[in-house]
Amino acid sequence: MRADNRAVRFAPWVCLVLAFAAGCGGGSKSGSGGTHTTVLTLEVPDDSDPPAAVFAAAVARGTDGQVRVEHDLASPYTSALPANEVRLAHALESGKVAIGYLPARAWAVAGLSGFKALLAPFVLSTERASKAFAESALAGAVLQSLPDSVVGLALVPQEPRRFLLDRQPLSKTAFAGLRIRIVDNPQTAADVRAVGAQPVQGLTAQQANAALTQHKLDGVESNAASILNNGYQTVAHYFSTYSPFAKFQSIVVSRAAWDKLTSDQQAALRAAAHDAVASAVRSEPSQERQELIELCESEAVPVMATRSQLDAIAAAMRSTTSRFVTDRGGKELLAQLLRLPGTGVQTLAAPLPYRCTHPPKAVSLVHRGGATIPPGVYTVTDTIHDFRKGGVIGPDFHKPVTTVTTFRKDGTWSQYQAPNYPDQGPWRGTYTVHGDQLTFVYTHAGPPGRNNGIDAPETVQWSYYDGKLTMRNLIVADVGSRVLYAAHPWRKIR
């Protein structure tokens, strides 16, 4: 229950902004269609992203079911392998894939100047700035710079990205010689080199974790949720409270699929994309802050650079931008981006709580249960309402799910769910109990013969009484897992 470079022709930026603001835009076709159902397979490299599910549901509503967007549960473009993002961009251009929900940085790697401007460091470096851009005419202008072989519908704002290192990222000199894993991108690689670090590309999340553990890496460039999901903070302990880089997801349809839709259906897809952006903009503003607090509670330490230190880091990274954003239109876009609220060199909008910046030296735990969890088989059923209440949206959560977990005396556990899906269990691993804290460690995830990666350890507070195991989330990044542990007590059946 878990979650090649080439030039592309595009119109001048000023014209694009004016055209979008005036409501103009291509891609619509006139005429009415039949009553048959058109199914578009949606490829989502970053799986379990709620706005992607919002988009799919809105398409079905807006077309009265005549167009269905179905999530590919066995996608060959998973972001576990970073190179898949650009592969998906090319598959959309060729018409091999009908519709994608993919990181916008893939289009920067494909050579689009406007998308390169979005990657410029210390520009859209806060959630406030990213959301302001996504709702502005500038977002529409960037989308219209896509090649004619695709149609861009939206840029969905995501959490900004930050550094997690094995030393404090306080100053430019602190980066000297560090090996930092980044998602494959020559522009970000140049920014990392500009502060004296060595970018490492081509690694999956699992490989990055192994390299950190083996001291072959010194850190990663990522967001709080991904850091927690992959457990990077258990090896590298210092995270930057500043975010150099923005991240957006792009909703893009191949021209071949788009031209088969009626004008009304095309309008419905545009409206659905708008709903996806609105859902991201409305998302709980404290979500990233809560994830940063969870980082604090799972061995990570926030690093507060001074203004002069941060200015020096930003100046070094920004020195590379002119090598990538070279045309007049791209430079004008950068200038307009910096006029949006929340842009530029920024630290956290709200300070982290005292316990993050002053962690206790020792924690005294009081156990409120037996000496250990009684071994045996436990079951729990989570409903659609439970998932929605927990913010879990996606094709795997459209019906109740029953999970069965076995705890063994030797400290191992195994788990399966019904119904199961190709991207889910079974799972197994080890567990440890320290006072009233229970930690699940994963050694295997997914059906035999399919490698879904190993999830990060998850820690809950527990108590046991009268055949029921009750848990409260402590360090659990995956939203599906949070529902699994805390929505209902687990009942011991044998």
Same domain? For 2 and 143 the reply is: yes
Please tell me whether residue 345 adopts helix, strand or coil conformation. Answer: coil
3-state secondary structure of 253: strand
Residues 30 and 132 in one domain: yes
pLDDT at 310: 95
Q: Is residue 231 included in any domain, yes or no? A: no
Q: Both 285 and 409 in a single domain? A: no
In a domain, 356, yes or no: no
Find the DSSP H helices in 231-353. 255-258, 263-282, 287-296, 307-318, 328-337
Domain match, 426 and 316 both: no
Assigned domain for 86 exists: yes
pLDDT confidence of 33, banded at 50, 70, 90? very low
pTM: 0.71
Q: What is the pLDDT of residue 47?
A: 67
| Residues 420-454 pLDDT 10s | 776 677 888 899 998 889 999 888 776 544 444 45
Instruction: Indicate if 31 and 141 belong to the same structural domain.
Output: yes
Digit-coded pLDDT (tens) for 148-159: 999 999 999 998
pLDDT at 300 over 90: no
- The answer on 389 and 472 residing in a single domain is yes
Verify that 286 and 392 share a domain, yes or no: no
Residues 279 and 421 in one domain: no
Query: Is residue 485 in a domain?
Result: yes
Q: Tell me, what CATH number does 460's domain have?
A: 2.40.128
Same domain, 130 and 28: yes
* Same domain flag for 121 and 28: yes
Domain count across the chain = 2
- Give me the pLDDT at residue 286, please: 63
- Same domain flag for 251 and 382: no
pLDDT at 62: 96
Looking at residue 426, what DSSP letter applies?
Answer: -
196: left (phi over 0), alpha (psi -120 to 50) or beta: left
Q: Considering the chain, what percentage of its residues have pLDDT values greater than 70? A: 86
> Is residue 135 in a domain?
yes
Q: Note whether residue 178 is domain-resident.
A: no
466 and 323 in a common domain: no
Whether 480 is covered by a domain: the verdict is: yes
Residue 341: give its domain's CATH number: 3.40.190.170
**What is the domain range of residue 402?**
376-492
Residue 35, token pair as written in the block? 């009553």
Tokens linked to 126: 């806060």
Q: For residue range 233-248, list pLDDT tens digits in order.
A: 888 999 999 999 999 9
Q: Which residue has the higher pLDDT, 253 or 235?
A: 253
